[in-house]
Structure 1
Amino acid sequence: MAQSTHPNNPKAPDQEEKVESVHFAHIPIAGQTIEPSRDAEALPLPSDHKSERKLRLKIDLHVVPTVAILWLFCFIDRANIGNARISGLDESLELQGYDYNIILSCFYISYILFEFPATLLCKQVGPGWFIPATTFLFGICTISTAFVQTRAQMCAMRFLLGLFEAGMLPGIAYYLSRWYKRAELAFRLSLYLVMTPLAGAFGGLLASAILKLNGFGNLRDWRMIFAIEGIVTTSLGLIAFATMTDRPETARWLSTEEKEKCRARISSERLLQSEVLDKVDKVKIWRGIANPATLTTAVAFFFSNVTVQGLGVFLPTIIATIYPNTSLVQQQLYSVPPYIVGSAVNLAVPALSWRFDKRQVFMIGATPTIIAGYIIFLASSSPPVLYAACFLIASSAFVMGPMSAAQVSANVVSDTSRNSAIATNVLIGNMGGLLSSWTFLSNQAPRYRSGNGLNLACATMQLLILFSALMWFKRDNRMRQERDMDSELSGWSPEQIEDLDWKHPAFRWKP
């Protein structure tokens, strides 16, 4: 992981080249010219594209690797129960009927309940402390899962795992929004969220390797998976306390000029905001929650997560029904290639989003292959065809993760509203994870018609919501163009205007 410093470390002395100080008197918003607040601080802007690219690469190398590796093991610790299931979990704990689905649901109950408060806590204490601490704690939960003896104990451990993982996805997304501009954010989010499909691939390979061991201490079979992977996670959490930098102002690896550039880059896109990191404010929290871009994207993310989270815990089971006569290790390995394809697409689409500064159209374009995959699952019984459908679904199912977080981040203004918007998106999205735990029921094997039909309906709804929202964004931007900003804001104080966020008449949606 890239070496950096903890937030408490002192700042480094000036080392880098000085840049020209530019006072921005106007902020462009979708072709408009807007006067900032008179109290807004003049900030230095990057003097040329070359120096900005150099700074962005430096941030990439110090910030992204740490959160990417942490998220990899976060998702492995969540999804490894699928690998454990086909390695003897059901028989060992004497699970019957809906017991496995109940265990999965326990994770999502706590995950959903603590999503929003965990994200606010992340802002309050700082991501540099919060993310390593919560990683260490859910690693401990994973290790403890290796020692459960009953269904009730497994339910308790999954509940605790959901509690400690609740702040990871929105916390990392919020953390990266402190460092990157709107157009850059989707690709950087993809650099860590690509670990979601890679976790499926790597988790299958790792589980296969672990199961070849004769034992790990007194542990055998599926218990070794939880113990070994949990030890890795806790170790990474401890290392992250030293390698994560909370924000540009505390980055020892940035010069004073580079810190100012970082602040200017983020401030240049925040309409009339005098502070980059503002204090938690109820009005701004609500602006993030009630934002139409947040709500429509979050509902689409809900439907997407039915598929994504379902793949994470059920793909090994689905593979086992497609190829029932193959060995356990072969079944684990069959789950790897679809995830590899998904990883490649999960990087390519956000890279294109960065290139064109568009998000909504790419989210829309990711849904047809998912729809096609589930149609094949319902229509065919040929093992090669069904396995090909796994590739179709996995190829674009994971795109919604980075793109949805980037979309809600791009369509709010203040840091507080960005924090609450990301939390709302993940909160509603993960309700789809709760539903996913009931999509593939044991008594419907091997065709799982209800589960495949539900996923088909969810992908279709995802497409309809995203397309309808895009049309609304374009229509509302045209209507905002005709509004009289001077008359609407006459008599308002700078503080009241700043609190308007996306309701400011000069604001334009950025789909």
Structure 2
Amino acid sequence: MSRPSAVATQDNKRGMSFEKTDSFVEQNSPEGSEAAAMSARRSAAWAKMDLTVLPVVTLMYFFSSLDRSNIGNARIAGLQKELNMSNFQYSLALTVALVPFVLVEIPANMLMIRVGPRLLLPTLVCLWGVSTACQGVVHNESGLLACRFFIGLFEGGLPCGIYVYLASFYPRRMLQFRVSIVFSSSAFAGAFSGLLAAAILNMDGEGCLTVVFGLACFFLLPDSPKMAFALNEDEKMFISKALADDGILELKHHVARHPLGELWHTLKQPHMLMLYFMGATSGIGLVSLQFYLPTVVADLGFEGIHAQLLTVPPSPLAHSVLSVTCAIFADRYSHRGLTVILFSMISTTGYALFLASDAHHVRYASLFLTVAGIYSLLAPLGTWVANNTAPLERRATALAFYVMCANSAGILSTWLYGSLSPAPRYTAATGTMLALQASTILAGAGTRAWLARQNKRKAAARARVGMDARADEGELKEMSSESIWFEYVL
């Protein structure tokens, strides 16, 4: 019997453990050349996987963010006045989208496990695309509310679905970099929405391209690593081995468990409660930026096309480079908590500057820090949840509940900026965001300390029972995150 390889080697800690197989490495090659060849083949296999998976899911999330948040740009382009809506009615339209978005998270993840991501995710893309296209031609408040409801209903399963999907394709310590790339698209969607609004000043035609892309995804999206069309059989075999070594199984190779029971397990774990809390504190900031960044910019004294264009720079420029660069460090050294703390400190600084200054140029500059910090939190927090929950259905349920917490809290932001905190200062809203981001710093530090303590406890338990006390659990079922052989990622 052998110790589970999820805690076996430093190489495996980086998600790169591949055992030599007769079909992939020639055993009679010189040792140095053999190691170099293995390293090159590892890199080539993961590069092929990235090119197969990441462009598709990144565009999925891009269209989701674009179609959900374009109402913010449409507002300053005249949508609210055209439909004769009050601030209360506008906030209601935003809330109507978020409620179904929250409620479908867990059911969508459970459905994806059973029918497969290749069927569910493209179907969702097509359905919300149709709803977005209809939104562009509504002429009254009732029509807008109906469209927003269905956009939220069909988009709700995507963010948590992407987390689970990527966590089934990559070892735990390779995940944040990939998640960062995918979720960076949300910032570009915000920028593109501003450019689009500046060009056409309405939402006519939006959603049609989403439908076309969704149809293509039925053919482009692989259900599992073994179905990745760009990989040969040897590459598929050793990627599957790397995932099994890290305690990760394909979506279809799971033992059925009740999702509410798995959720209850996570609610008894202090680190998961803190992660859910941080999901809520980041979610309220994210939703406020998605829906109200154009309004906040316009309230700084900018108008029309100028206001639309000024919503563009803070999003991709401030966020993407920071998120992806830090993800490289986080994956290399297996540190999620440090990036969470860093990004929270950046967003806290941004909110503090916005609250403290009366100068428009300072307040506009503060948006770069706020956007960079808030948007960058998406990847490390979701990855932290995925890395520290097992087996599969517990991970899927935990990720869904994490996204639920984020979007449930986001409902508050639709009222803070819409009705409860008057423009242009937004004092109550900004003060609330400042306090929440400061609490995220403390929660991130506390979570990291707790996980480090648990890893020490598990290491001591492994030492007591001995290295050969337990058979490898990798191929038949995933080990539980409570197992002493499961090492938490800090």
TM-score bin (small chain): 0.7 to 0.9
Structure 1, unmatched stretches of 5+, are 1-23, 34-41, 212-221
Instruction: Supply the distance in 1 between the matched residues of 2:323 and 2:207 (Cα, whole angstroms).
Output: 26
Instruction: Supply the distance in 2 between the matched residues of 1:57 and 1:278 (Cα, whole angstroms).
Output: 27
Instruction: Supply the distance in 1 between the matched residues of 2:397 and 2:21 (Cα, whole angstroms).
Output: 28
Instruction: Supply the distance in 2 between the matched residues of 1:207 and 1:80 (Cα, whole angstroms).
Output: 8
Question: Matched residue of 1:439: which SS?
Answer: helix
Task: Name the CA shift for 1:368/1:394 in 2 (closer, same or farther; >3 Å).
Answer: same
Task: Name the CA shift for 1:298/1:92 in 2 (closer, same or farther; >3 Å).
Answer: same
How far 1:436 sits from its partner (Å)?
1.7
Residue number in structure 2 paired with 1:319: 297
| 2:426 equivalent to 1:448 | yes
Task: Give the alignment's Cα RMSD to 1 decimal.
Answer: 2.8
Report 1:388-427 matches (<5 A).
388-427=365-404
Task: Name the CA shift for 1:27/1:202 in 2 (closer, same or farther; >3 Å).
Answer: same
Question: Matched residue of 1:366: which SS?
Answer: helix
How far 1:276 sits from its partner (Å)?
7.7
Instruction: Supply the distance in 1 between the matched residues of 2:135 and 2:390 (Cα, whole angstroms).
Output: 42
How far 1:339 sits from its partner (Å)?
0.5
How far 1:51 sits from its partner (Å)?
1.1
Question: Matched residue of 1:298: which SS?
Answer: helix
Q: Deviations over 1:40-67 (max 9, x none)?
A: xx99597622211110000011110011
| One-letter amino acid of the counterpart of residue 77, structure 1 | D
Residue number in structure 2 paired with 1:218: none
Report 1:217-236 matches (<5 A).
222=202, 225=203, 227-236=204-213
Residue number in structure 1 paired with 2:222: 245
Q: Any conservation in 1 of the 2:56–2:220 contact (CA below 8 Å)?
A: yes
Residue number in structure 2 paired with 1:161: 151
Instruction: Supply the distance in 1 between the matched residues of 2:307 and 2:5 (Cα, whole angstroms).
Output: 54
Task: Name the CA shift for 1:51/1:25 in 2 (closer, same or farther; >3 Å).
Answer: farther
Task: Name the CA shift for 1:122/1:288 in 2 (closer, same or farther; >3 Å).
Answer: farther
Instruction: Supply the distance in 2 between the matched residues of 1:143 and 1:275 (Cα, whole angstroms).
Output: 32
How far 1:26 sits from its partner (Å)?
3.4
How far 1:32 sits from its partner (Å)?
8.7
| 2:442 equivalent to 1:464 | yes
Q: Any conservation in 1 of the 2:247–2:479 contact (CA below 8 Å)?
A: no
Instruction: Supply the distance in 2 between the matched residues of 1:507 and 1:88 (Cα, whole angstroms).
Output: 54
| 1:304 paired residue among 268, 282, 294 | 282
| One-letter amino acid of the counterpart of residue 62, structure 1 | T
Instruction: Supply the distance in 1 between the matched residues of 2:311 and 2:211 (Cα, whole angstroms).
Output: 26
Q: Deviations over 1:475-494 (max 9, x none)?
A: 2222333337649x9999x8
Report 1:98-497 matches (<5 A).
98-211=88-201, 222=202, 225=203, 227-270=204-247, 277-282=253-258, 286-287=264-265, 291-324=269-302, 326=303, 328-340=304-316, 341-442=318-419, 444-483=422-461, 486=465
How far 1:147 sits from its partner (Å)?
2.7
| One-letter amino acid of the counterpart of residue 81, structure 1 | I
Residue number in structure 1 paired with 2:484: 505
How far 1:305 sits from its partner (Å)?
1.3
Question: Matched residue of 1:506: which SS?
Answer: coil
Q: Any conservation in 2 of the 1:284–1:501 contact (CA below 8 Å)?
A: no
Q: Any conservation in 2 of the 1:32–1:506 contact (CA below 8 Å)?
A: no
Task: Name the CA shift for 1:157/1:505 in 2 (closer, same or farther; >3 Å).
Answer: same
Q: Any conservation in 1 of the 2:83–2:141 contact (CA below 8 Å)?
A: yes
Q: Any conservation in 2 of the 1:71–1:192 contact (CA below 8 Å)?
A: yes
Q: Deviations over 1:253-281 (max 9, x none)?
A: 3222222112101110118x899831431
Question: Matched residue of 1:336: which SS?
Answer: coil
Instruction: Supply the distance in 2 between the matched residues of 1:351 and 1:375 (Cα, whole angstroms).
Output: 28
Residue number in structure 1 paired with 2:33: none
Number of aligned positions between the proteins: 462
How far 1:204 sits from its partner (Å)?
0.7
| One-letter amino acid of the counterpart of residue 433, structure 2 | N
Instruction: Supply the distance in 1 between the matched residues of 2:251 and 2:89 (Cα, whole angstroms).
Output: 50
Q: Deviations over 1:395-415 (max 9, x none)?
A: 221111111121111112322
Q: Any conservation in 2 of the 1:289–1:417 contact (CA below 8 Å)?
A: no
Instruction: Supply the distance in 1 between the matched residues of 2:268 and 2:147 (Cα, whole angstroms).
Output: 34
Question: Matched residue of 1:501: which SS?
Answer: coil
| One-letter amino acid of the counterpart of residue 64, structure 1 | L
Instruction: Supply the distance in 2 between the matched residues of 1:486 and 1:186 (Cα, whole angstroms).
Output: 33
How far 1:441 sits from its partner (Å)?
2.9
Q: Any conservation in 2 of the 1:291–1:502 contact (CA below 8 Å)?
A: no
Task: Name the CA shift for 1:291/1:50 in 2 (closer, same or farther; >3 Å).
Answer: farther
Q: Any conservation in 1 of the 2:69–2:290 contact (CA below 8 Å)?
A: yes
Task: Name the CA shift for 1:57/1:125 in 2 (closer, same or farther; >3 Å).
Answer: same
Larger deviation, residues 140-149 vs 452-461: 140-149
Larger deviation, residues 119-128 vs 413-422: 413-422
Q: Any conservation in 2 of the 1:305–1:436 contact (CA below 8 Å)?
A: no
Larger deviation, residues 382-391 vs 478-487: 478-487
Q: Any conservation in 2 of the 1:339–1:394 contact (CA below 8 Å)?
A: yes
| One-letter amino acid of the counterpart of residue 80, structure 1 | N
Instruction: Supply the distance in 1 between the matched residues of 2:451 and 2:61 (Cα, whole angstroms).
Output: 32
Residue number in structure 1 paired with 2:62: 72
Task: Name the CA shift for 1:298/1:142 in 2 (closer, same or farther; >3 Å).
Answer: same
Q: Any conservation in 2 of the 1:245–1:251 contact (CA below 8 Å)?
A: yes
Q: Any conservation in 2 of the 1:267–1:276 contact (CA below 8 Å)?
A: no
Question: Matched residue of 2:162: which SS?
Answer: helix
Larger deviation, residues 442-451 vs 361-370: 442-451
Task: Name the CA shift for 1:342/1:491 in 2 (closer, same or farther; >3 Å).
Answer: closer
